[in-house]
Amino acid sequence: MTADIHDIADQRPHLTVTADDGVHVLPSDLVRSVITGDKPSAVLTEPVVRRIIEEWFQRVTA
């Protein structure tokens, strides 16, 4: 397994998402851009999207 590693120190705050395929660190601005429709949801991988939905669903049904 290989991964691209990027220094995101200048992109804080950020979210850490533990998905099926590993840990992803996403800049909060990127996630906000997807929510507002400025960027397509396709910039997020399928495992990341599933994990975000899973955590959201757990919170709204608790």
Single-letter code of the amino acid located at 57: F
pLDDT value of residue 6: 74
Give residue 10's pLDDT. Answer: 73
- pLDDT of 26 reads 92
Q: Tell me the residue type at 5.
A: I
What's the rounded Cα separation, in Å, for the pair 17 and 26?
8
Contact 27, 11 (CB under 8 A): yes
Listed by start position, the domains of the chain span: 14-61
pLDDT (0 to 100) of residue 1 = 59
Rounded to whole angstroms, how far apart are CA atoms 12 and 56?
22
pTM of the predicted model as reported, rounded to 2 decimal places: 0.77
Give the residue ranges of the chain where pLDDT is below 50: none
